[in-house]
Structure 1
């Protein structure tokens, strides 16, 4: 139904209008009593081989929703109902901001890609805190992707402010220093600046732990795919030196190699199929650099179980999807789950964790 009816109708609309329509519909569905739990029983994997325990949480699936689709956390129950093992909301900034001028989201159907220059449009940390506080008991871990407001000069103060505001409602924090759509943001990936920033975030998380006696959510950092290999190595080293608990590899790219659609000339970050191989190679590099010391989350061009499995074998413990959900529809997580089970059986692997890094 999605491919034959819903997708053609949505693709007749402006990409951002379709995005808002979809998220608003899922937000309404999230408020239907009992529906998310019933739907999840049909979509979530009942395969114990896919279960992992990470940072004190149980992940029934290694497949999560990447940040950017539900920026304000309005549809977390609906996304969990699709069968995701975890949901990442945001990017959120301390103060609300409108983001960049429209149009700012573009589809490239022949390339299986999206280009966005949204600019961290969101309702702010306090609004997100209020929504996540109302969720009650969660069926999956909810991660919060944090960033800085466009006009902030001292970036660290914004990231620290997000941790302070959202500490009680986040199951993990993702420090986003790799979006290409906020001026100066990617400069924070330079090793010296990155280590200082991450230490500030981790120190605030520890201060909040002492204040609340609540288990500290892990802090992960999300890196760009466009770094020079030496710079990527330095950024990974800085993150490890600071003491982060995980890496997300990778964000959108500024590269336009191999694109055919006329929207290839649009400014912004590219996601989808063109990133598949590049992101997998970077996961492998990160796994080798860290020697598997922290969990890695693989992101970029995952459209199938084979794509997800390749990133897992390259060193990812978890993976995330976004663009492929737009193209493949809500049945994607369940299809990836079934395919992963078949791939594990094919390779004689007992549990998904045993495949992590097998090709690295």
Structure 2
């Protein structure tokens, strides 16, 4: 068997384009946007102009004719510069546009997908509630069938782009007694009356990513906003998550790489006892561990993306990359902080931001506990490794 690990020339160009974009368009605003907890619309618009929201989307709906691996390469480079901005890909592309492409009626595809890809619509997806996280089937936000419309009441929590989104996927209970089979997905219109959105500012990290609590009070939702069929929402949600989890994995790869590069640079610049600290064995051990974990994560992320591009079973591999990505990013950020000593604890270096942002990967898109269960059940044969 021949295994070729080389990127194609086109993939290298995409990778470099994303790297240059992140360094030129995102990096200059990091300090300002972190300090102000500010989501910058002009960066979002430029990402759309560069075609960043069109991966895996058919060209007839505005897609860029590229797939999962190319998307992962771009997310990695963006996250490496500022991890907050890796969130945009899932909100626009793999979380909203791609899910509508898979499950939507043709008129929904033609209307919504081009607008998410172009950035005309700012997207989101909402499933989490204040007391409902991993147990998606236990959600309480409810929409009652009133004949011509659904009457929506309840709230959602920790919703990325929650205060800035125009439209997005909303998962709610339409049959409170049917468990997972009672969930329906709507392509929610956030201009409808009865919606209150409150920004969440007291987050540990992701300070340049918008996050909100959304409250729905007697919101009349037109039936044409249903995605797929009534009661199909849980299946739609699980398939969506298997895509957005790769975006999370690629983001952890970017942050892991940022920590590694910052640590190597500092180890060569900082001298103690007459030589660079990189010459000392314990510092070398830190660098070596970070390097090995980053390389292993790179393989996992790229393999999961490749499997998706081939249409092969990938749920286990995607969860493996998500689970290991969280461990690698947290470990790399912690080691980076320690290696920088007192300077790591100051805002002169990005170590604090790395450490704040890394913890997201243990929670978002499924907790590490949930991904451990997914990997173990697939490995043991208790559940299939789905496409």
TM-score in same-fold range (> 0.5): no
TM-score by length of 1: 0.29
| Bigger Rg, which one | 2
Greater helix proportion? 2
TM-score by length of 2: 0.27
